Amino acid sequence: MYRTHTCGELTLADLGKDITLCGWVQKSRDLGGMTFIDMRDRYGVTQLAFNADDDEMLRARARELGREYVIQVKGTVIERSSKNLKIPTGEIEIRVADLLVLNAAKLPPFLIEDETDGGDDLRMKYRYLDLRRNPLRNNLMLRHRMAQAVRSYLDGQGFLEVETPVLIKSTPEGARDFVVPSRMNEGQFYALPQSPQTFKQLLMVSGFDRYFQIVKCFRDEDLRADRQPEFTQIDCEMAFVEQEDILNLFEGLIRYLFKTVKDIEIGQLPRMTYADAMRLYGSDKPDTRFGMHFVELNSVLKGAGFPVFDNAELVVGIKAEGCASYTRKQLDALTDFVKRPQIGATGLVYLRVNEDGTLKSSVDKFYNEAQLAAWAEAFDAKSGDLILVMAGDADKTRKQLNELRLEMGSQLGLRDKNKFSALWVIDFPLLEWDEESGRYHAMHHPFTSPKMEDVALLDTAPGEVRANAYDMVINGTEVGGGSIRIFQKDLQQLMFRHLGFSEEEAQAQFGFLMDAFTYGAPPHGGIAFGFDRLASIFAGLDSIRDVIAFPKNNAGRDVMIDSPSPISQEQLDELKISIR
């Protein structure tokens, strides 16, 4: 036993106790004949007092302690003269009788404080020091609590946690696999799972009825900002269920998580069709913390002789309340924002409803007073509002206006990280056209079932077929998605055919699953949540990196352990592979 207590628990109730504490030197200061040291561990900070009158040698040794030294002290709990009521231990200090340095420490390369002076690269290299800082440790403690709460809820609902294999089989569908050469099966490879999809479906065929797992998944993709090659899913599947059952049960999960982890009641989740989400927000993951939904203006603004609108497939706008006072400069900045290559709009039109009720637009010469009034009317605009309008190809314009809406939401402070707005987006399209390959791809994955009433459209209008697929969206982020699966071999074969698989390809890659469907597969469906993302939203972070203990950088490298790295010729020889 190195200690009798932690640094977070001693209070006035412990006055007079002889205790032993261990921890890190957070900081020290001298005050007359006294030296005070803040000693830190995971549980808190306790003040140590060394009095030269008591023991001058001991005090001298205390003065030599550097930041981040690991020490053990024995002493007595006494009342502090200068109390700090912000921390639980702030009314006491330890009158130290004995001090042992357990390990010295070099000066850390950056400050171990809530606000640090370390740059990203340095903090990644010394991640083990960055993790000492309260904000990071708190994120990971939050993640721990979330994981326990997820399991507790699902266990209570009769779900069984089953581990599925990590060394599986490479399939060309979907993202790029990480592969693992097999030494015992020369020239062959395992793949790391992008998700346990087929295994959880097989568990339903096995009659496991309700399955879950908090599980690592892998994708060898070029890392866009805030993607990690390995990430964690809360993966779930249920048998004998319809979409409604899944939405209800997992809405329950998310409500339970908010309640138990953050003590927030988020209430019932609204449901929005994919079509509505695209029409009203230009996004299948609308940020519903604020309104500002789209108003379509074709009937209001087309035909007045303004060629940009007249030639557009869609004229659509948003109303920014109280922004009529935006200056020319601010408006130009918004126009520049939408013209950035990442967004790619050609321009932005505004209509101001001035405080005196007059209307002023950037395209005044094409519209008379009555037309401008009808324009404002379409938004139910009031004095002081600003209307922003874009036009062009419908799909592209919606996406562009979505970006502008989010930007306006940010500028107006409507995207508060402490406010949470969750919803279901449902009725996703089954297929989406891929320009590059010139064929339809599965929007979710090839195991997603079409809505029965839409199956007939597969041959005539594949893009219009809706799927039994759903996403959970919180604050404009997709935190989870799933579907009711196909469970009949015939329908699965039909789907593979529509996705451009030959019969041989389908059999080679997913034959075991289609075979399984012939031995008594129950109807089933499921969902997977991105656990990193969910934790980052709960933590109020923009990035998933700081809810992961040891993340990789954007080049897929762990700069702390310097991985990946070359391997030995002997290893390559055993695997019978060569580097080109």
Residues 149-208 close enough to bind a copy of itself by CB under 8 A: 151, 155, 160-170, 172, 176-192, 198-199, 202-203, 205-208
Chain residues 113-132 in contact with a copy of itself, contact rule CB under 8 A: 126-129, 131-132
Which region, left, alpha or beta, applies to residue 59 given φ > 0 means left and ψ of -120 to 50 means alpha?
alpha
What are the residues facing 471 on neighbouring strands? 425, 481
CB closer to a copy of itself out of 341 and 566: 566
What are the residues facing 445 on neighbouring strands? none
Burial label, 308 (beta-carbon count in 10 A; 0-12, 13-18, 19+): middle
**Closest distance to a copy of itself from the beta carbon of 20 (Å):** 10
In degrees and rounded to multiples of 5, residue 502 shows phi and psi of -75, 165
Chain residues 260-299 in contact with a copy of itself, contact rule CB under 8 A: none
CA distance 17 to 9: 13
567 is an interface residue for a copy of itself by CB under 8 A: yes
104 is an interface residue for a copy of itself by CB under 8 A: yes
Q: How many binding residues for a copy of itself (CB under 8 A)?
A: 120
**Closest distance to a copy of itself from the beta carbon of 499 (Å):** 17
**Closest distance to a copy of itself from the beta carbon of 217 (Å):** 10
Coil, helix or strand for 25? strand
436 is an interface residue for a copy of itself by CB under 8 A: no
Candidate ranges 30-38, 98-106, 372-380, 435-443; the one touching a copy of itself (CB under 8 A): 98-106
| In the block, residue with structure tokens 């919180």 | 474
331 is an interface residue for a copy of itself by CB under 8 A: no
Report yes or no: 545 and 225 within 8 Å, Cβ to Cβ.
no
558 is an interface residue for a copy of itself by CB under 8 A: yes
Chain residues 218-247 in contact with a copy of itself, contact rule CB under 8 A: 218, 220, 222-223, 229-230, 232, 240-242, 244-245
Chain residues 307-326 in contact with a copy of itself, contact rule CB under 8 A: none
87 is an interface residue for a copy of itself by CB under 8 A: no
Report yes or no: 126 and 86 within 8 Å, Cβ to Cβ.
no
DSSP labels for 217-286?
A: EE------TT--SEEEEEEEEEES--HHHHHHHHHHHHHHHHHHHH-----PPPEEEHHHHHHHHSSSS-
Of 108, 135, 174, 384, the one binding a copy of itself (CB under 8 A) is: 108
CB closer to a copy of itself out of 91 and 230: 230
Q: Outline where 355-477 has alpha helix (H).
A: 369-378, 394-411, 457-460
CA 514 to chain centre: 33
Of 372, 516, 527, 537, the one binding a copy of itself (CB under 8 A) is: 516
Sign of the Cα torsion 292, 295, 301, 307 reads positive
CA distance 482 to 496: 19
Report yes or no: 220 and 176 within 8 Å, Cβ to Cβ.
yes
552 is an interface residue for a copy of itself by CB under 8 A: yes
**Closest distance to a copy of itself from the beta carbon of 201 (Å):** 9
Candidate ranges 145-153, 354-362, 409-417, 439-447; the one touching a copy of itself (CB under 8 A): 145-153
CB closer to a copy of itself out of 81 and 578: 578
Q: Is the backbone peptide bond immediately before 564 cis, with ω within 30 degrees of 0?
A: yes
Chain residues 9-28 in contact with a copy of itself, contact rule CB under 8 A: 22, 24
CB closer to a copy of itself out of 27 and 183: 183
**Closest distance to a copy of itself from the beta carbon of 568 (Å):** 7
Return the DSSP state at 171. Answer: -
Q: Which long-range contacts (CB under 8 A, 24 or more apart) does 26-33 make?
A: 26/67, 26/112, 27/67, 28/62, 28/63, 28/65, 30/63, 33/59
Candidate ranges 38-46, 75-83, 420-428, 460-468; the one touching a copy of itself (CB under 8 A): 38-46
CA distance 111 to 102: 21
Of 467, 521, 528, 534, the one binding a copy of itself (CB under 8 A) is: 521
Chain residues 446-505 in contact with a copy of itself, contact rule CB under 8 A: 487-488
Q: Which two tokens stand for residue 93?
A: 């200090």
Q: Outline where 340-463 has alpha helix (H).
A: 369-378, 394-411, 457-460
Q: Which two tokens stand for residue 147?
A: 């994981």
CB closer to a copy of itself out of 134 and 411: 134
Of 28, 37, 40, 73, the one binding a copy of itself (CB under 8 A) is: 40
Of 268, 299, 518, 569, the one binding a copy of itself (CB under 8 A) is: 518
Of 81, 418, 437, 568, the one binding a copy of itself (CB under 8 A) is: 568
Of 77, 479, 528, 548, the one binding a copy of itself (CB under 8 A) is: 548
CB closer to a copy of itself out of 151 and 451: 151
560 is an interface residue for a copy of itself by CB under 8 A: yes
Report yes or no: 47 and 35 within 8 Å, Cβ to Cβ.
no
Chain residues 370-409 in contact with a copy of itself, contact rule CB under 8 A: none
329 is an interface residue for a copy of itself by CB under 8 A: no
- Each residue 45-84 as x (binds a copy of itself by CB under 8 A) or -, in order, gives -----------------------xxx--------------
**Burial code of 380-412, b = ≥16 C-beta within 10 A, e = fewer?**
ebeebbbbbbbbbebebbbbbbbbbbbbbbebe
CA 488 to chain centre: 34
